[in-house]
A and B are shown apart, each in its own frame.
Chain A
Amino acid sequence: MNVDSLARFRADEATATVPTRMDFTLDLPRAALSVAGVTRHIGGRDVVDRVSFDVADGELVVIVGPSGCGKSTLLRAIAGLDPMTAGRVVLDGTDVTALPPEKRRIGLVFQDHALFPHRRVDQNIAFGLTDLGRADRTRRVDELLELVRLPGVAKRYPHELSGGEQQRIALARALAPDPAVVLLDEPFASLDPSLRDDVRTDVVEALRNRNAAAVLVTHDREEALALGDRVAVMSDGRMLQIDRPDEVYERPNDRFVATFLGDASFLPDPDAPDIALMVRPHDLSITPGGSDAVAARRYLGAAWRYTVRCSDGTEVDVDLAAGPGTTPLGVGDACTVVVDAGHPLHRLPA
């Protein structure tokens, strides 16, 4: 490891920030959805632990975290499908904590679309539109079908559609009664990866066109970073950080958040022993020769990712651009790791 390079990118005291944890306050008085201190206690542990956040109209918040971290339970508690041990849910200024799901104005899209198999597409979408007259209903259904870009399928049955189409109809159905917020529980997980992108784009666009507030739960970090206006990272029932995608990715307040959203290594700050500096593979570079050695390598298409064992025993991942004309290093080659970030390194408690 080239320590000088490290020192160069170390942030100044002035710009260093060690962020604090989330607290209880609700800071947006006109939020579409306000969640405060939601806790769900099951079998001796807090599956959801004092989670609070807001969602504004037109905003898409993505909650991401590993399996079992409580994100789906949180979603179901917000929807009213499961009881909460503590906390409050406020929708459009109204406290709905005591209301059953059918009285809250919440739309829900499941991973398995959950369309009514015994009803046609238009009947599915119209299911929540009991207040409207027939003409209005038909109009709204057509509107929504346009919105999700499936104008011709009104008379078909769910089983006659493809997975991506079914998911879009599920979204249309959820949006039909004009809910205050739309909750999506891993909506793309069961889709074919090659289709996922298109469906994602369509869904996000539809939500934006309606200016709908939405909370989307996923375990896919790339999806989270790509889709969310804000990204919230959950682990073990707690919401660790919620902020813009670039903030959480570049300035995580927690090692877990850092490593969950992307590969990261933590290098000790030579001057401040209680601080670690976060580096991602693309922040580092390798020069041939030196006291470090290549332990493994992987081809990623755009780059070669090398796992390098440094002389002091730590292992870091380094990405080097690939392309015709570049010569990759081999396993076991001696090299030196150089910090080559285009920005000051983020500091975390050691």
Chain B
Amino acid sequence: MNSTITDTADLVPHHPTGSTDPIGDGATCPSTVSVIGQRSRSWVSTVLVSAVAVVVSIPVLVIVWSIVQPSTDVWQELWATRLPGMIQDTATLLVAVLVGTLVLGTSLAWLVTAYQFPGRRVLGWLLVTPLAIPGYVLGFVWLDTLQEPLGARGVRSIWLCALVLTITLYPYVYLFARAAFREQSQRSIDVARSLGCSRTQAFWRVVLPMARPSLAGGVALVGMEVLTDVGAVRLFNVSTIADGVLRVWFGTGNRNAAAELAVLLIGVAIVLIAAERLARGRARFTQSGLRTGLHVERLRGPRAAAASAIGWGVFTLAVALPIYRLITWAIEARRTDQTATVAGDLGFHLMSSLRVAGIATLACLALGLLLVAGLHRRRIGGTVLARLATLGYAVPGPVVAIGVLVTLAAVDRLGWLPDGWLLVGSFVGLIYALVVRFLAVAYQGIESSVGKVSPSVVASARTLGAGRFRVATQVELPLAGAGIIAASVLVAIDTLKELPITLILRPFGTETLPIWVWQATSESLWVQAAVPSLAIVAVGMVLVAALLWALEHGAETVS
């Protein structure tokens, strides 16, 4: 379903070779692979890839399958009471956050791309850092901080929730927009200005429309995160459909009704994806011809100061202030000796988190590469399999967890494993669930990165005698490498911050940092939550730095 989401290749300026149709005579030429002699390869790869896609989609299908026995009375009751409110809240939150991230992300990206002012480069990096802060952490920090000025009633509002989500999610749009702007040519703007547009008008009428596909990708990703969020919305009393799924499930014990709501959620996600594809249009490549890059305007005096102020202001609000608040709490926690849980100290939780996030990321990377290799440019079958493999991203964490639970328990009952071995409550089971949830991020990023490698470069390599393996390792992977790394980092960030799945499925001895945060915040003990929150943010910052490195590094090989 998300074949254009998390298009991390869009974050990496792509190589100018092959940006036009190399075929010249305009004939449709979809594939570069000769069908002759390929039959044996197709068979094995089809089986392998299908197996992966199916196995990854089972937990979600299990949940969706419950809809086969619809529970009409619960549904009717829901419709009469909560459902309209849920739909309204979801819609409001979604629209608010989408608009917010679009405006914030795009304008900040434009600011750091088109203008030069003191501190621009550093600011360009710092504006990505909110990615390192989980929404549920920022949520409780703001909840507590704003409790005094706004009052208990004022602080629990859907608009504040939207603001929190906007702040933690705008980096996605920012990254995509920044990459899109970097790839644009000053030439188009010059043409527009010669036709009478001021620089601002040129921005609206030329730059923005050309950046539309990338922006659509970033916004869709934000939309998925908002739809499936269950942490921040609970803090602010916002009852979205995702929250409703849990509410119905655990409130009435009626799994069928909950599943129906979950399917509704997936439906909304599909609509979102479709809208994104529409917004993308049919443009896949940037414009051909000479790429001169954007002409950067130097700002001076008050304008430079204003630009700096905006950027630094956002950073302060989004990152610096929350971290400051967490640090003060952490100091107090140290003073009152609350810097550990019974499970262990910070080191123990940190190792748990690194282990879980590390292995889950590797698994997503490996499977993502597998899927891309097997599905790339395969027509109808490929689309279906890709959609199956990426279903989990549209489903809230707890729902995925329950689906995995049911699936693994069924496998355990079959007794295929040696005596004493169980999948439920095992490390493998947890990794499996995280893969189900986040494979989409890896797959999409790898797919689009590999897709941006010029077909004529690949074709040249083949005519020079390189077999498929050599082409893959010596040509495609190096050229797509930066985008693949970026995709992996995004998966790592997601698995690091993940809470609901880890809560339900973790094995004994694995207590991650988010679990610690949950144990504290479920009792409103913000002070105790500070140390693990800071640890999550610290690791997140390292990952964000890696992401930025990957993006910069990718740019170096472009001529």
- The smallest C-beta distance from A171 to any residue of chain B, in angstroms, reads 12
Q: Are B27 and A117 in contact (CB under 8 A)?
A: no
Q: Are B475 and A112 in contact (CB under 8 A)?
A: no
Q: Are B462 and A72 in contact (CB under 8 A)?
A: no
Is B478 on the interface with A (CB-CB < 8 A)? yes
Is B228 on the interface with A (CB-CB < 8 A)? no
Q: Are B461 and A72 in contact (CB under 8 A)?
A: no
Is B464 on the interface with A (CB-CB < 8 A)? yes
Is B460 on the interface with A (CB-CB < 8 A)? yes
Contact of A47 with B22 at beta-carbon distance under 8 Å, contacts A101-B459, A117-B479 already known: no
Q: Are A217 and B24 in contact (CB under 8 A)?
A: yes
Q: Are B24 and A186 in contact (CB under 8 A)?
A: yes
Is A158 on the interface with B (CB-CB < 8 A)? yes
Q: Are A102 and B462 in contact (CB under 8 A)?
A: yes
Q: Which residues of A contact B33 (CB under 8 A)?
A: 81
Q: Which residues of B contact A72 (CB under 8 A)?
A: 23-25, 27, 29
From 95 to 136 in chain A, residues with beta carbon under 8 angstroms from any chain B beta carbon are 97-104, 106-108, 110-118, 127-128, 130
Is A30 on the interface with B (CB-CB < 8 A)? no
1/0 contact string of A155-180 vs chain B (CB within 8 Å): 00111100000000010011011010
Q: Are A67 and B37 in contact (CB under 8 A)?
A: no
Pick from B35, B464, B559: contact of A128, CB under 8 Å:
B464
Q: Which residues of B contact A157 (CB under 8 A)?
A: 559
- The smallest C-beta distance from B298 to any residue of chain A, in angstroms, reads 27
Contact of A101 with B34 at beta-carbon distance under 8 Å, contacts A81-B459, A185-B24 already known: yes
Q: Are A118 and B557 in contact (CB under 8 A)?
A: yes
Contact of A106 with B463 at beta-carbon distance under 8 Å, contacts A112-B20, A117-B558 already known: yes
Q: Which residues of A contact B27 (CB under 8 A)?
A: 42, 47, 68, 70, 72-73
Pick from A83, A100, A114, A174: contact of B456, CB under 8 Å:
A114
* Contact-residue bracket for chain A: 35 or more
Is B252 on the interface with A (CB-CB < 8 A)? no
Most chain-A CB neighbours within 10 Å: which of B36, B461, B465?
A: B465
Contact of A100 with B459 at beta-carbon distance under 8 Å, contacts A81-B32, A113-B17, A118-B557 already known: no
Complex CA–CA separation, A181 to B532 (angstroms) = 65
Q: Are A112 and B22 in contact (CB under 8 A)?
A: yes
From 500 to 559 in chain B, residues with beta carbon under 8 angstroms from any chain A beta carbon are 557-559
Q: Are A158 and B559 in contact (CB under 8 A)?
A: yes
1/0 contact string of B9-30 vs chain A (CB within 8 Å): 0000001011110111111110
Complex CA–CA separation, A116 to B465 (angstroms) = 15
- The smallest C-beta distance from A113 to any residue of chain B, in angstroms, reads 7
Q: Which residues of B contact A107 (CB under 8 A)?
A: 463-464
- The smallest C-beta distance from A177 to any residue of chain B, in angstroms, reads 6
Complex CA–CA separation, A116 to B474 (angstroms) = 10
- The smallest C-beta distance from A105 to any residue of chain B, in angstroms, reads 8
Q: Are B25 and A70 in contact (CB under 8 A)?
A: yes
Is A273 on the interface with B (CB-CB < 8 A)? no
Q: Are B25 and A71 in contact (CB under 8 A)?
A: yes
Q: Are B475 and A102 in contact (CB under 8 A)?
A: no
Is B466 on the interface with A (CB-CB < 8 A)? yes
Complex CA–CA separation, A72 to B23 (angstroms) = 6
Complex CA–CA separation, A160 to B556 (angstroms) = 12
Is B457 on the interface with A (CB-CB < 8 A)? yes
- The smallest C-beta distance from B279 to any residue of chain A, in angstroms, reads 28
Complex CA–CA separation, A80 to B37 (angstroms) = 11
- The smallest C-beta distance from A158 to any residue of chain B, in angstroms, reads 6
Is A339 on the interface with B (CB-CB < 8 A)? no
Q: Are A100 and B24 in contact (CB under 8 A)?
A: no
Is A203 on the interface with B (CB-CB < 8 A)? no
From 299 to 321 in chain B, residues with beta carbon under 8 angstroms from any chain A beta carbon are none
Contact of A83 with B36 at beta-carbon distance under 8 Å, contacts A112-B22, A117-B479, A185-B24 already known: yes
- The smallest C-beta distance from B412 to any residue of chain A, in angstroms, reads 46
1/0 contact string of B443-476 vs chain A (CB within 8 Å): 0000000000010110111111111000000110
Complex CA–CA separation, A53 to B559 (angstroms) = 39
Q: Which residues of A contact B24 (CB under 8 A)?
A: 67, 71-72, 111, 185-186, 189, 217, 219
- The smallest C-beta distance from A144 to any residue of chain B, in angstroms, reads 13
Q: Are A73 and B466 in contact (CB under 8 A)?
A: no
Complex CA–CA separation, A47 to B457 (angstroms) = 24
Q: Which residues of A contact B456 (CB under 8 A)?
A: 110, 112, 114
Q: Which residues of A contact B19 (CB under 8 A)?
A: 112
Q: Are A117 and B462 in contact (CB under 8 A)?
A: no
Q: Are A82 and B31 in contact (CB under 8 A)?
A: yes
Complex CA–CA separation, A111 to B24 (angstroms) = 8
Closest B residue, CB atoms, query A108:
B463
Complex CA–CA separation, A88 to B456 (angstroms) = 24
Q: Which residues of B contact A82 (CB under 8 A)?
A: 29, 31-32, 34
Q: Are A102 and B466 in contact (CB under 8 A)?
A: yes
Q: Which residues of A contact B18 (CB under 8 A)?
A: 110, 112, 114
Contact of A159 with B558 at beta-carbon distance under 8 Å, contacts A47-B27, A111-B24 already known: yes
Q: Are A174 and B37 in contact (CB under 8 A)?
A: no
Q: Are A117 and B559 in contact (CB under 8 A)?
A: yes
Most chain-A CB neighbours within 10 Å: which of B23, B31, B558?
A: B23
Q: Which residues of A contact B29 (CB under 8 A)?
A: 72-73, 76, 82
Complex CA–CA separation, A84 to B380 (angstroms) = 22
Most chain-B CB neighbours within 10 Å: which of A97, A110, A159, A179?
A: A110
- The smallest C-beta distance from A233 to any residue of chain B, in angstroms, reads 14
Is A79 on the interface with B (CB-CB < 8 A)? yes
Q: Are A102 and B28 in contact (CB under 8 A)?
A: no
Is A69 on the interface with B (CB-CB < 8 A)? yes
- The smallest C-beta distance from B385 to any residue of chain A, in angstroms, reads 23
Contact of A114 with B17 at beta-carbon distance under 8 Å, contacts A99-B37, A100-B34, A108-B460 already known: yes
Q: Are B22 and A116 in contact (CB under 8 A)?
A: no
Complex CA–CA separation, A97 to B460 (angstroms) = 19
- The smallest C-beta distance from B465 to any residue of chain A, in angstroms, reads 5
Complex CA–CA separation, A116 to B558 (angstroms) = 11
Contact of A83 with B461 at beta-carbon distance under 8 Å, contacts A67-B24, A76-B23 already known: no
Complex CA–CA separation, A173 to B465 (angstroms) = 12
Q: Which residues of B contact A185 (CB under 8 A)?
A: 22-24
Complex CA–CA separation, A40 to B388 (angstroms) = 34
Q: Are A102 and B25 in contact (CB under 8 A)?
A: no
Closest B residue, CB atoms, query A109:
B460
List of 7 A-B pairs having minimum Cβ-Cβ separation, nearest first: A159-B559, A128-B464, A114-B456, A108-B463, A101-B462, A110-B456, A83-B35
With contacts A68-B26, A70-B25, A76-B459 known, what are 20 further pairs, Cβ within 8 A?
A43-B28, A68-B27, A72-B23, A76-B29, A79-B459, A98-B37, A102-B466, A107-B464, A110-B18, A110-B456, A110-B460, A112-B17, A112-B456, A114-B18, A116-B460, A117-B558, A170-B460, A179-B463, A185-B24, A219-B24
Q: Residues of A at under 8 Å CB distance from B? A: 42-43, 47, 67-73, 76, 79-83, 97-104, 106-108, 110-118, 127-128, 130, 157-160, 170, 173-174, 176-177, 179, 185-186, 189, 217, 219
Q: Residues of B at under 8 Å CB distance from A? A: 15, 17-20, 22-29, 31-37, 454, 456-457, 459-467, 474-475, 478-479, 557-559
Identify 17 residue pairs between A and B in the complex whose beta-carbon atoms are under 8 Å apart, listed by A's number. A43-B28, A72-B27, A73-B25, A80-B463, A81-B459, A82-B31, A100-B37, A100-B462, A101-B463, A102-B467, A106-B463, A110-B460, A116-B460, A117-B17, A128-B464, A174-B463, A217-B24
